[in-house]
């Protein structure tokens, strides 16, 4: 079971996330995903939208391997090298996530990531549907 607490009474307004998500059952932790394809090649050098789409595709693959999907995500942590990429993040996030069931989210600007061409890294937590285990 999962419940989204978009804006509890007394909380500040939100822009694309829930203040809290409560859930029961097994959880899945997805390591930070970066803009690298299945062959280990960088995708979208200098293009934040292309990099974000690859990161979300990688998240989908990792979640799927654990028996979960984006509807099961309860928390995202987003690391951006350049806050100018925030609109691109929101655009791509909205292509993959249901606006009515957004996860809790933290977004942090970082000086750099493991590869100097990476603009973004995203990690996720998900609650397995129906208490399933994969």
Q: For residue range 23-40, list pLDDT tens digits in order.
A: 888 999 999 999 999 999
The pTM for the full model equals 0.90
Taking the C-alpha atoms of residue 43 and residue 89, their distance in angstroms, rounded to an integer, is: 15
109 has pLDDT over 90: yes
pLDDT reported for residue 114: 97
Of the chain, the percentage scoring pLDDT greater than 90 comes to: 75
Q: For residue range 37-96, list pLDDT tens digits in order.
A: 999 999 999 999 999 999 999 999 999 999 999 999 999 999 999 999 999 999 999 999
In three-state secondary structure terms, 90 is helix
Token representation of residue 122: 């995203």
């Amino acid at each position: 079971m999962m419940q989204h607490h978009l804006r509890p009474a007394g909380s500040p307004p939100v822009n694309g996330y829930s203040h809290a998500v409560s859930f029961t059952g097994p959880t899945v932790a997805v390591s930070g995903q970066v803009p690298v394809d299945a062959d280990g090649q960088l995708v979208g050098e200098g293009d934040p939208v292309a990099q974000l789409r690859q990161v979300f595709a990688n998240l989908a693959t990792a979640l799927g391997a654990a028996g979960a999907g984006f509807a099961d995500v309860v928390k995202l942590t987003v690391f951006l090298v350049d806050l100018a990429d925030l609109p691109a993040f929101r655009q791509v996030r909205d292509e993959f996530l249901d606006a009515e069931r957004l996860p809790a989210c933290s977004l942090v600007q970082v000086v750099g990531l493991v590869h100097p061409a990476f603009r973004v890294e995203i990690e996720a937590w998900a609650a397995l549907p129906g208490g399933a285990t994969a």
